A and B are shown apart, each in its own frame.
Chain A
Amino acid sequence: MDLDPSPAAEALRAKARAWLAEHVPAAPLPSLETAEGFAAHRAWEARLAADRWSVVSWPERYGGRGADLEQWLVFEEEYWAAGAPGRVSQNGISLLAPTLFEHGTQEQRARTLPPMARGEVVWAQAWSEPEAGSDLASLTSRAVRTDGGWLLRGQKAWSSRAAFADRAFGIFRSDPVTRRPHHGLTYLMFDLRAPGVTVRPVARLDGRPAFAELFLDDVFVPDEDVIGEPGQGWRIAMSTTGDERGLTLRSPGRFLASADRLVRLWRATADPGDTALRDRVADAAIGARAYQLFTWAGAARLAEGSAAGAESSLNKVFWSEYDIALHETALELLGADGESADTEWAEGYVFALAGTVYAGTNEIQRDIIAERLLGLPKGRL
């Protein structure tokens, strides 16, 4: 066992640190859940991409640096420690791109990935439906065969980033007669500005349009935008949800940086005699370290050739609950100012509240942990 980053990771760390020190905006960008903030974040993605920092783990030919998992983790630590902006292209980079690398065609990768890396095309995910949240197998939106492609019909809900995004990816029922709900689903990409698409922004708890409903009325999708074989959408989506729950969505660097800010806030403002609050701050520091080391251990297992599998459910429950506890502690430290909605902590708090719901609710994750990691019998009573 060791904790020493590889020489390549250390080299990348030094380069990233220098670049970020020079380029991270001095003032925070406006919230990316506003039209103005979305545009500012897009411009930041372009700036990152110009020096090949937007997708460091991708191959060079798509705008990346071919960074391995360890290098990526180190880059993320530097990125968040530098106070750099949130990533408006997160959905595309962490969900669609891994899917294309695994299941897409050469042509789809060449066409889709470079504009994603530059923030020119920002992707929304279109998975959930009004009657299908964590139970994705009950999807009813349809993809109907037509000349040279498919027609999408139905409604998607809670589509993250869709209020301002350009394109979306999701799964649709292409074979309505199959008796097994996991069969007959097709994974495809579509244009949010195509004829037949209506985007209705939905305000999240703080009033900002962080997601949207999509109404789809015979929206045409050419065959070239189907990912993998038609009917195989479930299998393909499951390989992507593993990424979503796993470490690519929430890198430890982000929590390390937040915990560090929290500890500094505590040192600057807290009553040293308030040991109850001190203990919660300590738990936030410990949790960030635990998540970092857990991730390193997971990366070492992946490097040995193990699959992430059900362990990504442990990861997801941990970071989502940790994120809320961290922000609750910050709000408490802020005292009367904790109620003010215009702080970075307040926005982080609202964002964190969703974590236990999306990417498969934590109840679903706990079922997966119990059944697949502990071997308990199936049943949801």
Chain B
Amino acid sequence: MRLQPTAEQRQFARSLDAMLTACDTPSAARAWAAGDRAPGRAIWSRVAGAGVFALAVPERYEGAGTLPVELAVAFVELGRHAVPGPLVETVAAAALLTRLAETGDAAAAKRLLPRLASGEDMATLAVTAVGPYAVDPDAADLLLVADPARRDAPARARRGPAPSGDAVLRAAPGHGPLRVSNDPVRGRARPAPGGEVLAEGPQVAGAVAHAVGIAALATAAQSLGVGLALLDRTVAYVRQRTQFGVPVGSFQAVKHRLADTLLALEFARPLLYGAALTGARADIAAAKVTAGEAAYAAARTALQLHGAVGYTEELDLSLWLRKARPLRDAWGTPSWCRAQVLA
């Protein structure tokens, strides 16, 4: 019952933090939003070099073994630094292929996993039962789509991932027009129909459900990192910004809002690591909704306490501000997560 990072896990987080701090991730994120992928791809390679994508891939496919706790530790840092790209979708795709291989369907894993683990390929993933869009399909080397096999799958399932029965996994040949997201660093489009069918059957549905869980876990971790970054930046700002002759951070109304922000984030953290340890669906859903809501509340607080300067795109704060809400709703809306907790 030792819910504290080990020395190795702490060191892993510190080294990722140091590496990403040196990468100027805000510039790369801005370039990514403008369609220039080069700086983002360069960071992607370094993230892969640190072993992050290998954390969802077994050793036999050149991964590090499936290590959800380390994955959570890493995604907190990726969120803190606003790293661009379909990070969550890439590890979810890796988790999907891994689970397929574990249940006897190893062809796609053999071919695709080593390149995902090494960072050579960037993947994205759309699960029809969750939503129709894939994140950054134009930047990805591999666009995986999981469809329900039966066309009678109800459209209402779109509010949350509930794959059941058979499913089809395919590599889509392309995608429709990109839609601008509230977070311009997250381009999204509908995958094109057709493409190579990689696997099909009830084992695909199981693997998709597992992948959705890993996506939700990684998104929860990324949300926590986003929330922590928003809090850090806001605390720094209210310490130096003065009004009425004193730092605004000395006003009790400001302090209490930030205290509540810290409180929400610090209670999301153990849920995140607990979920990584158990892998239970209800635990992941609890972590997802709690971290997502905490990060979104942190964004609202950051905006309010930065005042008008926070309401501009120029300030780097906007990179985290705009990310919080989409992450809260991606891979399981709060309402869907709450239903899972009681399911």
Contacts and interface: CB of A to CB of B under 8 A. Distances in A.
Contact of A369 (B259, B273, B341): B259
A200 interface: no
A46 to B, nearest CB: 31
Contacts of A336: none
Contacts, number: 150
A370 B208 CA distance: 43
Contact of B270 (A263, A290, A317, A377): A290
A380 B5 CA distance: 36
Interface stretch (A57-65, A97-105, A110-118, A298-306): A298-306
Interface size class of B (residues with CB under 8 A): 35 or more
Interface string B252-292: 10111011101100111111011011100001001001100
Contact of B341 (A73, A285, A291): A285
Contact of B267 (A6, A73, A281, A318): A318
B247 A318 contact: no
Nearest to A311: B266
Interface in B1-50: 1-6, 9
Contacts of B182: none
A370 B259 contact: yes
A296 B290 contact: no
Contacts of B276: 1
Contacts of A19: none
A278 interface: yes
A268 interface: no
A377 B274 CA distance: 34
B267 A294 contact: yes
Contacts of A3: 1, 3, 274, 277-278
B315 interface: no
A273 interface: no
A283 B338 contact: yes
Interface in A340-381: 363, 365-367, 369-371, 373-381
Interface in A184-219: none
Given A1-B277, A3-B274, A289-B283, A366 B255 contact: yes
A290 B250 contact: no
B266 A370 contact: no
Given A285-B286, A366-B259, A373-B262, 10 more contacts: A1-B4, A3-B3, A282-B341, A289-B283, A317-B263, A363-B256, A377-B249, A378-B250, A381-B246, A381-B251
28 contacts: A1-B5, A2-B277, A3-B3, A3-B278, A282-B338, A283-B338, A285-B341, A289-B271, A289-B274, A290-B268, A291-B267, A293-B270, A293-B274, A296-B2, A296-B270, A297-B4, A297-B269, A300-B2, A318-B263, A365-B259, A366-B255, A366-B259, A370-B259, A373-B259, A376-B238, A376-B249, A379-B252, A381-B250
Top 5 nearest A-B pairs (CB, nearest first) are: A293-B270, A370-B255, A379-B250, A282-B338, A369-B259
